[in-house]
Amino acid sequence: MTGGPVDPARRAHYDSAAFRTRAVHAGQYPEQHAGALSVPVHFSSTFERSVVLDGGWDYSRIANPTRATLEQCLTSLEGGAGATVTASGMAATTTTVLATCAAGSHVVLPDSTYGGTWDLFTEVLSRWGLTWTVVDMADLDAVAAAVTDRTALVWVETPSNPRLRITDIAAVADIAHRLGALVAVDSTFASPYLQQPLSLGADLVVHSTTKYLGGHSDVTGGAVISGTPVTAELIARTSGIVGGIAGPLDAWLVVRGIKTLPVRMRQVCSSAMRIAEFLAEHPVVSAVHYPGLPTHPHHDLAKRQMTDFGGVVSFELRGTRDDAAAVCARTGLFTLAVSLGSVESLIQHPAQMTHCTTGGTSVAVPESLVRLSIGLEDPDDLLADLDAALRTGATLAG
């Protein structure tokens, strides 16, 4: 038995369904794969074809059936015109910048930028003549002053890593578009379930699929979803030329992870809120960064722009860099590790880990800041674990 073409009525039914239904079905059509409910992993690097390619597949650096399934699913979930999946989140970021910028282009960056993105600009792209201006994206006047007729791209990270700052995507897009700049949003912390930047005016959405989309700490990947066919083709073409594409097994793992994304996100958001409220009352904690708290400076914006507040919480201690590192080392259920968005809860010290290269720069993070990624464990167990780790360091309170 061989697979057949996708029934157009069935495709239309999937495409018009609710988010949770599309997370399970979008891009995945059993009749196309001999009736298999699980999409096959197409390990082939090359495919039989005619001399002049007229449909079908060619070479897996350019396109692969398993990768295409993930791309169709992400396109549907983000409401885009096309998606390209890559070997990592940083490959997605690099592809986006290379596709939209030329030598001498100007980029606007947020002052709460992921350390890997900062490294890309300062250590690699600076050698290619790109320039950038760092601004507080919450200050729309500062954003407007930074965007010039040389600006090719405004890079937005919301919620930001690790201080959970929220950027008004629609307002920034309006400013950028007046001078012809594109807007790319790193929406990794939100996932498509909590936020859809294209609907707010962004041109491109970037994800590290390693995080919430994969969801199980067993895959590394990235994705760029485009708002128009023109940008979708530009990103796909650039990715195919550069070659930083996702392998078929990695793509399959993300497809599988997405099926449970809505369920996982609801649980981690609920637990994260409880943990943020607990930390806000703890005597050794000086500040909590979580947009779900009414005290967060961007709480109202987050309520308008997101459907919930996410599974990452960060907090600052009444103490030093060493105190923060010691708290990270004292937890039992929270694992000391980089990354986020998985089924297990993680804890890390950004100043010495994900943002270790930003110290002394305009995007540096507080040295006493600790970042939590909330997983699927019982929230009572997580609260007890945190409380024990913080109380062991009760001298932090002075």
Q: Which entry of 111, 168, 186, 323 is annotated as an active-site residue?
A: 186
Q: Where are the alpha helices (DSSP H) in the chain?
A: 8-15, 19-25, 65-78, 89-100, 115-119, 140-146, 169-178, 191-194, 229-242, 248-258, 261-280, 299-305, 321-330, 379-392
Q: Which entry of 67, 211, 264, 330 is annotated as an active-site residue?
A: 211
The structure tokens 């997983």 sit at 375
**For residue 316, what is the enclosing H or E element?**
strand 312-317
| CA distance between the termini of the chain | 72
Q: Is 290 a catalytic residue?
A: no
Q: Which entry of 14, 114, 193, 212 is annotated as an active-site residue?
A: 114
Query: Maximum distance among all alpha carbons in the chain?
Result: 75
Query: Rounded to the nearest 5 degrees, what angle is found at the Cα of 195, between the Cα atoms of 264 and 83?
Result: 95
**For residue 259, what is the enclosing H or E element?**
none
The structure tokens 């990768």 sit at 67
CA atoms of 48 and 57, how far apart (whole Å): 8
130 Cβ neighbours under 8 A, 6+ residues apart: 97, 101, 103, 104, 105, 106, 107, 121
Judge whether 209 and 254 are in contact, CB under 8 Å: yes
CA atoms of 389 and 335, how far apart (whole Å): 12
CA atoms of 77 and 16, how far apart (whole Å): 11
Q: Which entry of 20, 61, 259, 266 is annotated as an active-site residue?
A: 61
CA atoms of 183 and 110, how far apart (whole Å): 12
Q: Is 114 a catalytic residue?
A: yes
Q: Which residues are catalytic?
A: 61, 114, 186, 211
